[in-house]
A and B are shown apart, each in its own frame.
Chain A
Amino acid sequence: MITCPIFFCAYIKAMAKIKYIEHNGKEHVVEVQNGLTVMEGAVQNDIPGIDADCGGSMSCATCHVYVKEDWYNKLPKKEMGEDDMLDQAYEPNSNSRLSCQIMVSDELDGLSVYMPEKQV
């Protein structure tokens, strides 16, 4: 039997390993499909600590995460408005990002994000 190569290819999806670390230190490592956001990766895998009340429209600051410097500087820069929303997050600092604004790609394979104590 010959497998149609095109048909087969449709099932190979590029994924990146993302580590979500809860505030209590509990780690969750999941494969997130390229093109999804870090927020979606958490929500789809039932990882606690990211609420994402507004569903990813950058209007609520409840998908706030901290990213350590080594990764923070590798992420695509914040777009206009993200810092304004972060002002309204729970305990933001200079390592803060909204996970709905971080798009997963090959470059992000191995990324770790830390959750704040709470989102609201």
Chain B
Amino acid sequence: MIKTDVVIVGAGPTGLFCAHQLGIIGLKCEIVDNLNKIGGQCIELYPDKPIYDIPAVPECTGEELTNNLIEQIKPFKFNFHLNDRVQELTNENDNWVVKTTNGKEFHTPNVVIAGGVGSFEPRKFPTKSAEKFDGTSVLYSIKDKTIFKDKSVAIFGGGDSALDWAIELSNTSKVSLIHRREEFRGAPASVKKIKELSEKNIINLFTKYSIKDVKGNGSLEEVEIKSEEGESKILKADYVLGFFGLIMQLGPIAEWGLNLDKKAIPVNTENFETNKKGIFAIGDICTYPGKLKLILSGFHEGALAARGCFKYARPNEKYRFEFTTASNTIKDRLGVK
């Protein structure tokens, strides 16, 4: 069990800057994110795309913005809990008990939800029959590649994950690669390699095909694929892997009783508190009249939510507004002279 002043759900730009503001006013926080890296959408969706509307930064990429935000909160040495997702929020004597999928438990008076459009999850096959094998022989990520040795593996997708795993697994498994069109979006070198392996009959390549059905009694035996013209083929498969990128799912947030309005959480604009005391929502996930889904709006919301957290974290102290340029207390916190 970890006791802290604030748990921040989501390590995107808004969550990171809110952490900064908490650090400035002397509060501690723990940051949880489902991704395996810090940065949220900025790092997952558009690390290389330039952003032009960060105040005083004429142009920067999602990755640069993230790196600068990480740099900015370094002095506070906050903990990140990556690859983990907040599952449950319960109220206990004016405190929130926050439980994660990996079994971590936080006790805190404040939770700041900076969850964007939700957590990133792999996109799954549309076929109903694939659900039956989900997690056993229909997989969307690979933890242990040795299970595929000497097996037939059907890989679906046209990006780097699909190509890299097709190449890698073709050393030890019988690999089929299936993609919905002729062009691949993976790195040109990998595309070239796949074509070579296909010409040598090491990989069975099927373009302009997609999944139709998976079949098997108990364990998976075959996968049926179809072309757009309706022609179908049956491939032997012990495993089916899908690499269609990540989608954003609101997930457990929807169950926390926050009066969701079109996947967004209504908040007040004074401190971005929700209908529940001590639960705040900032960034893309919050909604109020005039809401703009801009990173700069998330920064503003985070700054005010941090002050909102102060009164619950330090009920016996009065919050004093201070400037970073003038306050020695803040300079101490930042470790600067």
Within 8 A of A (CB), among B170-229: 179-181, 183, 185, 210, 228
| CB contact list, A50-67 vs B, under 8 A | 53-55, 57, 59-62
The answer for the CA separation of A117 and B159 in the assembled complex, in Å, is: 24
**B 32-58 contacts with A by CB, 8 A:** 41, 45-46, 49
Of B45, B49, B123, B183, which contacts A120 at CB under 8 A? B123
A84 touches B185 (CB 8 A): yes
A87 touches B293 (CB 8 A): no
Residues of A within 8 A of B25 (CB): none
Contacts of B46 in A (CB 8 A): 57, 59
B117 within 8 A of partner (CB): yes
Contacts of A59 in B (CB 8 A): 41, 45-46, 49
A87/B228 in contact, CB under 8 A: no
Size bracket of the A interface = 10 to 19
Contact with A along B115-143 (1 / 0, CB 8 A): 00100000100100000000000000000
Contact B117 A53 (CB under 8 A): yes
A60 pairs with B247, CB closer than 8 A: yes
A-B contact count (CB 8 A): 56
**A3 vs chain B, min Cβ distance (A):** 32
Residues on the B chain within 8 Å of A60, using CB:
45, 117, 247-248
- Minimum CB–CB distance for A36 against chain B, Å: 16
In the complex, chain A residues whose CB is within 8 Å of the CB of B247: 53, 60-62, 88, 120
Q: What's the nearest-Cβ distance from chain B to residue A38, in Å?
A: 19
Chain A min CB distance to B242 (Å): 11
* Chain B residues proximal to chain A, CB less than 8 Å: 41, 45-46, 49, 117, 123, 126, 157-159, 179-181, 183, 185, 210, 228, 244-245, 247-249, 293
